[in-house]
Structure 1
């Protein structure tokens, strides 16, 4: 098995892409470069559209009420739909209006990773050009394998109690993992209850809902999210707060054990 790895910079964070192929597949350096260029261009385009920091982004212009409905792109409408549905489904735990105006930052990274994966890497898996592919954006990962392949990705989850040792590892084929927490970015999530979770990891078939649910988990707190996860058949890991912090595993009927 041949592995090609490259890292891109976009949205003020690294995105690492891993491609796996057999020698017979003829995955040339030029084709890898093409994947790299296409993914970089798309991530840059999406950052320009959705950045909360660029004054000329559609998100900022929308917040300033400078745009008509006709000026909103299909991608903008898709993300807006995800955001308002997530707010409704989680009873406000995922809140795209937390800043006093529309800001979909909590789901754009996961949606962008899923978008470029499905646009450029999924077709290569379906055609048999690759055995497996994965994109990792600051710890949120979308994985895939070719139809009929027995290959799996092993994805480790950082342990906020001991960053030198993963708290768990998932064995994934076509799935996604998102983690939200306070260790790396501080307490940036608006909580609905006193803090009871310092980190939440959710596993889903695709990254957008995983990203939404992981953010919502920290906002909801342990008790409410455990109920929510049972209702929605979610799998993942929760790390509680306090001097006697614990790792709580939730299993929604689909096993991803490594």
Structure 2
């Protein structure tokens, strides 16, 4: 792997810790244009929070929910996300829905979408700069990453063992793309099945690797909701992924094909 100097920027936005990681020559990572692009990415996320946060009374989503504005009157990005959520609901067979409660709440989709958008607008273009090796953004453990053309850099993303706190279950190697994990290990059964309104059970964690963080985040959530049913994988725009069930089974897939099922004995015993 190429020897490169790292630089990290960290902010708390959208209710989570967001970090940008740049690798390259000293001139690249310390360049004012690199720092300015990172600042723009953070600003983009703050704007997304201003528009989509359900915790802010003045957000576009909150005003839409209260009937103060219509979808046509809201910020154009609201309509864009609403269309993406409807498409996701159709492709997932209803395992994801932003409207199942009777109003539009894109919380389960918008973070991955916003982080990917900020990365594509402001961070990934930096890979064309002289001295750049790699750049990525991490939001609460979900990542959109890129590597400069001609570089041998590989992002090695550790996947936490949901049965054993503080331990790593697997490593995902990614050159360019996204990795997202959803699960119940840390926050309990907080993911609801929109088809029933009941907490999703059976799968402790799900990790998806895709070109797009919006897609990876979506399908990781779908995997939790789907439980033992992996039929959705054929419709997912994913490269690979894995689920870890409550009983310790680890299922992996590549493309649309399940490639392995193993029992993680230590996990199953806990």
TM-score, normalised to structure 2, is 0.85
Task: Trace 1:112-131 onto structure 2 (pairs within 5 A).
Answer: 112-128=114-130, 130-131=132-133
Q: After TM superposition, give the deviation of residue 73 of structure 1 in Å.
A: 2.2
Shift of 1:29: 5.5
Residues 128 and 118 of structure 1: is their aligned pair in 2 closer, same or farther, counting only changes over 3 Å? farther
> What does residue range 48-67 of structure 1 map to in structure 2 within 5 Å?
48-67=50-69
1:211 aligns with 2:217: yes
Contact 2:6 2:29 in 1 (8 A): no
Match of 1:199 among 205, 218, 236: 205
Equivalent position of 1:16 in the other structure: 19
Taking the aligned partners of 2:252 and 2:28, their CA distance within structure 1 comes to: 41
Partner of 1:100: 102
After superposition, what is the alpha-carbon deviation per residue over 1:137-175, rounded to whole angstroms, capped at 9, x for unaligned?
111111101123221100011111112221111111111
SS at structure 1 position matched to 2:244: strand
State the TM-score, normalized to the length of structure 1.
0.89
Match in the other structure for 1:227? 231
Whether 2:167 is the aligned partner of 1:161: answer: no
Q: Deviations over 1:61-115 (max 9, x none)?
A: 1122222344222221221111111111112111112443111011111011101
Report the alpha carbon displacement of residue 28 of structure 1 after superposing the two structures with TM. Answer: 2.0
What CA distance in whole angstroms lies between the structure 1 residues aligned with 2:95 and 2:119? 27
Structure 1: runs of 5+ lacking an equivalent? none
Aligned residues: 249
Structure-2 residue corresponding to 1:184: 186
- Cα displacement string for residues 179-211 of structure 1 (whole angstroms, at most 9, x for unaligned residues): 111122221211358622111111100100111
Distance, in Å, in 1 between the alignment partners of 2:232 and 2:71 is 34
1:134 maps to: 136
Name the structure 1 match of 2:148.
Answer: 146
Shift, 1:39, TM fit? 2.2
**Is the alpha carbon distance of 1:36 and 1:123 closer, same or farther for their aligned partners in structure 2, counting shifts above 3 Å?**
closer
Would you say the 8 A contact 1:55–1:61 is kept in 2? Answer: yes
Return the alpha-carbon distance in structure 1 between the equivalents of residues 123 and 130 of structure 2. Answer: 11
> Where is the strand percentage greater, Structure 1 or Structure 2?
2
Cα RMSD, aligned residues only: 2.0
Q: CA deviation at 1:129?
A: 5.3
Q: Which residue of 1 aligns with 2:264?
A: none
Unaligned residue ranges in structure 2 (runs of 5+): 258-270
How far apart, CA to CA, are the structure 2 residues paired with 1:80 and 1:88? Answer: 13
- Pair 1:72 & 2:74 matched: yes
Q: Distance in 2 between matches of 1:118 and 1:3?
A: 20
